[in-house]
Amino acid sequence: MDSKTNFSLDNKVALVTGASYGIGFAIAKALAGAGATIVFNDIKQELVDKGVAAYKEEGITAYGYVCDVTDEDAVNAMIAKIEQEVGVVDVLVNNAGIIKRIPMIEMSAKDFRQVIDVDLNAPFIVSKAVIPGMIKKGHGKIINICSMMSEFGRETVSAYAAAKGGLKMLTRNIASEYGQNNIQCNGIGPGYIATPQTAPLREVQPDGSRHPFDQFIISKTPAGRWGEASDLGGPAVFLASDASDFVNGQILYVDGGIQAYIGKQPS
C-alpha cells in the first residue's frame, strides 16, 4: 500500500503518557484500533491498574507503568524498561497534563512552576528519552497534546497557557531538529473536551441550569457541543501513521470550529 494512505499502526509501539483515562485513554484506544501496541503510564499504581483493566474491557492488552513524567530519572528508567519488555517506542503521545485555574496575581510561583513542569518540561523529558531509539530505528512520531491555549489566553489559566504556548514551539523545534532523522513531531490542539479536567466548567448549577462557562462554550462552538475525547482518536491515528510522513511541526486543531467562529449572535 502506498504509505501516503497507510493509516495502519501494525507492529508499532505507542507510548501515551497519563492515559489511564480521559483524552489519553481515548487516543490510546484509537491507536490500538489501528494496530498499535499500547504502553501508558500514570503516577499512581492504582490508576495504572485501573487503566490496564479499562483497556482490557476494550479488548486491548496495554502495558502500564508507574511514572511521574516530571522526574527525568524515572522517565529514563521507564523508557529502558519499555524497550526491554515491549519494544522501542515508535509513537510518543505527550498527553499527561494538569491545569490550575487561579487568577495570576493570586497564583504562587510554586503552582505556576508545577503546571509548567508537567505540561512543558515533561514533554521535553519524555521526548528526549525516546528520540535516540527512534533515530536508531530510522523513524518516529511525536504527538504533543497542545490546546486552544497554545493560541489564546483567558482569565485564570496563565500557567497553562504559557505551558501550552511553549509546547507548540517545542513541537516545532523537535520537528526542525529531528526531521532529518525521519521523525515527525506534530501537535493536536483539542478544543473544549468533556473530561475530568473540564468537569468544573460543566457543573450543573444549584438551580439546575448549565454552568455559565458551559453555555459560553456551546455558544462559541459551531458544532454547538463540547468535544468528546473520542473526537481526538482519528486525528491521532493520522499523525501517528505513515500517511502523515510529510506533515511536520503542525498543530492540528480539533475544536469543532471554535477558533473560526465569532460566536452565536444573540437571538
Binding site for ligand GCO (CB under 6 A): 99, 101, 147-149, 154, 157, 160, 190-192, 197-198, 201
Contact 129, 112 (CB under 8 A): no
Q: If binding is defined by CB under 6 A, does position 47 make contact with ligand NAP?
A: yes
Q: Is 253 a catalytic residue?
A: no
Residue list 77-116, contact with ligand NAP (CB under 6 A) = 95-98
Considering the complex, what minimum distance in angstroms separates the CB of residue 8 from ligand NAP?
A: 25
Distances (CA, A) of 115 to 15, 163, 209: 21, 7, 31
Q: Which is nearer to ligand GCO, 101 or 137 (CB)?
A: 101
3-state secondary structure of 67: coil
Q: If binding is defined by CB under 6 A, does position 127 make contact with ligand NAP?
A: no
- Please, what is the Cα angle at 203 between 21 and 19, to 5 degrees? 10
What amino acid is encoded at 55 in this protein?
Y
Q: Which is nearer to ligand GCO, 63 or 192 (CB)?
A: 192
State the binding partner of 245 from ligand GCO, ligand NAP, none, CB within 5 to 8 A by kind: none
In angstroms, rounded to a whole number, what is the distance separating the alpha carbons of residues 154 and 147?
12
Q: If binding is defined by CB under 6 A, does position 70 make contact with ligand NAP?
A: yes
The DSSP H or E segment spanning 49 is helix 45-57
Residue 266 DSSP symbol: P
Distances (CA, A) of 82 to 10, 36, 78, 190: 18, 14, 6, 28
Q: Which is nearer to ligand NAP, 144 or 242 (CB)?
A: 144
State the binding partner of 97 from ligand GCO, ligand NAP, none, CB within 5 to 8 A by kind: ligand NAP
Output the nine-digit C-alpha cell for 117: 513542569
Q: If binding is defined by CB under 6 A, does position 144 make contact with ligand NAP?
A: no
Considering the complex, what minimum distance in angstroms separates the CB of residue 130 from ligand GCO?
A: 24
What amino acid is encoded at 150 in this protein?
S
Task: List residues with catalytic annotation.
Answer: 160
Contacts with ligand NAP by CB under 6 A lie at 17-18, 20-24, 41-44, 47, 68-70, 95-98, 118, 145, 147, 190, 192-193, 195-198
